A and B are shown apart, each in its own frame.
Chain A
Amino acid sequence: MLITCPYCGPRDVSEFTYQGDGNRTRPDPDSTDLGAWNRYVYDRVNIAGEHNEIWQHSGGCRMHIAITRSTTTHKISSVRAMRDAGPGAGQ
């Protein structure tokens, strides 16, 4: 699998680390809603199809990137730098 890092260009998947489900939203830091925190920390969607994921180019520029990838074909339809995606996007 190749991932096109926004900074480094197309690189082999072995240079990247999967950093989790990109569909989660971190509750407000002061929130005491334990249900929301539980969902954030433990719940993961398990999609057969287009999935929002967070990866890190850990063997390269170390940037975190937001990836939309099909879990059935491994086709990557979008790659964005996490920081460019704006505050809170894809937490």
Chain B
Amino acid sequence: MKPQRTGIGGKIHRARTIRFSFDGTSYEGHPGDTLASALLANGIVLFGRSFKYHRPRGVVSAGIDEPNALVTVLRGDVREPNIPATTIEIFDGLVAVSQNRFPSLAFDLNAINQLGGKLLGAGFYYKTFMGPVIGPLRGTRFWMFCEHFIRRAAGLGRAGEAHDTARYERVNAFCDVLIVGGGPAGLMAARAAAEKGDRVILAEFDPTFGGSAKWSGETIDGQPADIWTQFVADDLRSMPNVTLLPRTLVWGYYDSDTMAALERVSDHKVKAETGEPRHRSWTIRAGRVILATGALERPIVFPGNDRPGVMLASAAQRYAGEYGITVGSRVAVFTNNDSAYTALAAMKAAECSSLVVVDVRSQISPAARAAASHAGVELLLGQAVVGTRGYPSLSSIKVQRFDPSSLTTSGVARSISVDALLVSGGWSPTLHLASQAGGRPVWDEEIQAFTPPQPLQNWMAAGAARGAFSTAEAVAEGYAAGGGETADDAEPLPETEPTILLSKPARVFEIKAKGKAFVDFQHDVTADDVRLAHQEGFVSVEHLKRYTTLGMGTDQGKTSNVPGLAIMAEVSGRQIPEVGTTRFRPPYAPVSIGALAAERFGDLKPERLTPMHDWHVEQGAEMMPAGLWFRPRIYAQPGETIEQSYVRETRAARNEAGIVDVSTLGKIAVQGPDAALFLDRVYTNTFSTLPINKARYGLMLREDGFVLDDGTTWRLGQNEFLMTTTTANAGKVMQHLEYLLDVIWPDLKVHLTSVTDQWAGAAIGGPRAREILSTCVQGTKVDNATLPFMGIVHGTIAQVPVMICRLSFSGEMAFEVYCGAGHGQHVWNALLSAGQGFGLVAYGMEALGTMRIEKGHVTGAEIDGRTTARDLHLDWMLSKKKSFVGSAMMDREGLSGPDRLQLVGLVSLDGRALSGGAHIVEHVDPEAPSHSLGHVTAACYSPSLGKYIGLALVSGGKGRRETRAFVSDPLRNRFGPVEIVSHHMFDPQGTRMHG
């Protein structure tokens, strides 16, 4: 008989029918069903094909530990693969399909892989993909060719390509107590903590609270356990200090008791409500954490243990108790412990016609014996299941005498006709979160399982999560963990049934017999694979895991971990605690990437725009990113190339006047009685001697002696300076200065303020720049006496206060005009209209770059973290009268000498453009690239020189001036002769800027 819905029973709502589809066929289920239970109710036993061998697989568990029954859920074109059918709530219109089968689930061509079992063992890829040693497909090329086909045959679900249109969101939460798990222990903990007034969050993976109490059939506080749990949950829901999170997986335990959780908000709905996300990603900062995560039942490893129809005893019990399903009519139970006997009554109630129990132990407890006789089962003690038959699902099992001390089978095998086999290999506490929090799990010999480690963070485990499997212990430990009163006159705890059938398993994890016995169902890892790994020298449990892929599937070995370790221990002659367990890491179960990203997708960088940004765009400027800033590259006129644009702009600036937006320069206010002293220490040159209203060009080194940044600093008062930095380094320089003040010189009275965004700046330069300024500036003269080179004046332009400093990056007579950022556009407009009769042109970054290349001024392309002041010919700025940051290290061996890469100018000798990044070589040969002398850092067409020029860092560059070399740029296929010259290529005397 196939599985079917029982006439009565279960917690499903039979009055309502839900229609859904699986592999194109329409089925019916009820609210409260999972996809797995609804399919079982429809007699479906085949859920998928296995990873390597394509063996038919059915459902093994009834929860999140499911290794086999993985399906793909389709929502329109969006496909979500590898979801356990046991965790999917059905809804009207749900569409799910099976995975890893071709052409269909029932008939799969790749099932032929089973015949190749020996070949496909552990390490198959490592051993096989060596490739022939000769021929065109030598090396691994042949296997790279085959990989495409192999990857199609092996694996799980296929990822989709459609854009996921669902919405995801993130939320931060804070609480005194986070309780993970809403079974009896978690509910009692929540109640105790909530009654004390703690802010409580209770998270439960399932849609409803209750845990095992939903299907165990026991009574608590004189009521059916599932009713009792609903009362407690309802009480909690009404309390203002309690947040209940059903459908929420707490998947990560991070430092400082920070927990990560995923709430499945609308997966179970036909359509999300307006404003509702699909998933919500929670970051919960808990004062303390109570882990009431329960325990997971383990299978036993024996040949044919993966056949559809073989499942965990607790799963069958849950299908009967919660979903009203009988998994078969002729049912066998195979166990090494007492807990499986609790399933007998449930199977009896679920209308099974015959029951047999196969127990590896020859002696069982009186309680187990009583349960067996009460259910009227045939009891086969000291026996084991050594094989299964049936295709595609179970039809019979083979049973043989078994000696639990020697772990050997003997005697004649007996065949028993069954359609379901319920297996119990004992229980493992769900200690994954505790392990993530740190510490080594501890082996408990009595329950043959790892228990949580000594807490290194502020958590405690309660109930089955701690290895205390009875409901009475769950209730008592949960209450105590929540902080409940334990005084004699305190309210008594809810009464529970005495639990007599507990998991104290015999030390039997595997039945050795002929045939494939699976440890990890999802990755098709067999007991022989584990032995093979050991034989090949993989002794460490971490290596075993990676070599065999045991426990590496989407289920992360929830069912396979302990049996795998047990086999490893046996072959290596060690005890399980000596073998140890792998460290569990987040996430406990798969988490949607969409929820982790939530609203953070697309371009995440903030955009920094100058006050004049809109004007640039209106003028048709092509904007380019500079760090987070956007700056005009060129103001192109119709029909112009980039080069034509910047050449026109450069000519205008050199011949008449040009204006450029310099608001992006980093600006730091350095204030305080020790400001001048501080600057003397951080700059290589001296600032304490700088008069008020004068500026000076400064150079900063790092502690290791390399150049950090350059810029001008203006003295605005005795104790007040305005430092400018390059646009890209503003943040780095600020942090450098803050570090020095906080850590190295906390005694200095200096205050730093970033004022980059407070000032708008325009640099106006060229032969007519001073004339333009004099027509629009009020309150000060701008003549040579009042405003000499590097001088500063204060005045107004169009009624707006401005600060003007005469300094030059372009090499022209130039002025930087600063005003409050809010007036930036106003002042810019005033400067433009003043310049109308003088041929003033706005120029962009290309023209700015051209003029600085002509002048040999350095920027970030040359200050690349590897150049020294000497390399850049800035050694004239290194004060010999004082120490400064970097002064001790700048003269180290290797940081000076004739072979260093030094700044030079380049002139193209073939009349073609140079490009940044090209190498400089002595002899050019595209076929045999020779030793590189250095590289081009910047290049342009120089309208002033009428040539293509560039700057470069060249080994021994100073000594190579007036010699010929070549550029070698194989990527862009650009080779050609250049002349190495001084970096001062235009107006080396500086007569234009000094005026």
Contacts and interface: CB of A to CB of B under 8 A. Distances in A.
Contacts of A30: 883
A88 B655 CA distance: 55
Given A2-B258, A82-B743, A58 B735 contact: yes
Contacts of B456: 73
Given A26-B744, A64-B739, A90-B743, A41 B704 contact: yes
Interface size class of A (residues with CB under 8 A): 20 to 34
A91 B704 CA distance: 16
A31 B738 contact: no
Interface in A75-91: 82-83, 85-88, 90-91
A58 B735 CA distance: 8
B735 A41 contact: no
Contact of A56 (B438, B735, B746): B735
B889 A41 contact: yes
Contacts of A37: 888-889
Nearest to A24: B743
Contacts, number: 63
Contacts of A83: 742, 746
Contacts of A34: 888-889, 892
B558 interface: no
Nearest to A62: B738
18 contacts: A1-B254, A1-B256, A2-B255, A2-B285, A19-B739, A29-B883, A31-B888, A37-B888, A54-B743, A56-B735, A56-B739, A58-B735, A62-B738, A73-B456, A82-B742, A82-B743, A87-B747, A91-B744
Nearest to A65: B742
Interface of B: 254-256, 258, 285, 438, 456, 681, 703-704, 735, 738-739, 742-747, 883-884, 887-889, 892
Contact of A40 (B703, B883, B892): B703
B738 A56 contact: yes
Contacts of B747: 87
Contacts of A1: 254-256, 258
Contacts of B254: 1
A17 B739 CA distance: 11
Contact of B256 (A2, A17, A86): A2
A39 to B, nearest CB: 12
A44 interface: no
Interface in A21-51: 26-27, 29-32, 34, 37, 40-42
Nearest to A37: B888
A37 B701 CA distance: 15
Nearest to B745: A87
Contact of B746 (A26, A27, A40, A87): A87
Given A1-B254, A87-B745, A90-B743, 20 more contacts: A2-B255, A2-B256, A13-B255, A19-B739, A19-B743, A26-B744, A29-B681, A29-B887, A29-B888, A30-B883, A31-B888, A41-B703, A56-B739, A56-B742, A64-B739, A73-B438, A83-B746, A87-B746, A91-B743, A91-B744
Contacts of B743: 19, 54, 64, 82, 90-91
7 closest A-B pairs (Cβ-Cβ)? A64-B742, A2-B256, A1-B255, A29-B883, A83-B746, A74-B255, A82-B742
A58 B456 CA distance: 29
A11 to B, nearest CB: 11
Nearest to A27: B888
Interface string A51-75: 0001010100011100000000110
B821 to A, nearest CB: 21
A82 B742 CA distance: 6
Nearest to B257: A2
Contacts of B256: 1-2, 74
Contact of A86 (B285, B681, B739, B746): B746
Nearest to B704: A41
A34 B894 CA distance: 14
Nearest to A13: B255
B896 to A, nearest CB: 14
A34 B703 CA distance: 12
Contacts of B738: 56, 62, 64
Contacts of B735: 17, 56, 58
Contacts of A31: 888
Contacts of A32: 888
Contacts of A82: 742-743, 746
Nearest to B738: A62
A62 B743 CA distance: 12
A58 B754 CA distance: 13
Nearest to B884: A29
A5 to B, nearest CB: 13
Nearest to B702: A41
Nearest to A70: B456
A22 B892 CA distance: 25
A52 B889 CA distance: 25
A19 B256 CA distance: 21
Nearest to A72: B438
Residue of B456, B738, B746 ringed by the most chain A CB atoms within 10 A: B746
A32 B891 CA distance: 10
A73 B889 CA distance: 36
A47 B892 CA distance: 29
Nearest to A89: B746
A88 to B, nearest CB: 8
Contacts of A87: 745-747
B666 to A, nearest CB: 15
A13 B604 CA distance: 20
Nearest to B439: A73
A44 B750 CA distance: 29
A80 to B, nearest CB: 11
B538 to A, nearest CB: 26
A54 B744 CA distance: 12
A58 B738 CA distance: 10
A63 B742 contact: yes
B870 to A, nearest CB: 18
Nearest to A74: B255
Contacts of B742: 56, 63-64, 82-83
Nearest to A42: B704
A56 B752 CA distance: 15
Contacts of B889: 34, 37, 41
Contacts of B892: 34
A41 B705 CA distance: 10
Residue of A32, A40, A82 ringed by the most chain B CB atoms within 10 A: A82
A36 to B, nearest CB: 9
A77 to B, nearest CB: 13
Nearest to B256: A2
B388 to A, nearest CB: 47
Nearest to A54: B743
Contacts of A27: 888
A80 B144 CA distance: 57
A82 B745 CA distance: 10
A90 B743 CA distance: 8
A18 B681 CA distance: 24
Contacts of A86: 746
A78 to B, nearest CB: 15
A61 to B, nearest CB: 11
Contacts of A85: 746
A26 B509 CA distance: 61
Nearest to A64: B742
A85 B992 CA distance: 52
A86 B704 CA distance: 25
A40 to B, nearest CB: 7
A63 B884 CA distance: 23
A63 B743 CA distance: 10
A1 B285 CA distance: 10
A37 B703 CA distance: 9
A51 to B, nearest CB: 15
Contacts of B746: 82-83, 85-87
A20 B216 CA distance: 56
A8 to B, nearest CB: 15
Contacts of B739: 19, 54, 56, 64
A32 B883 CA distance: 10
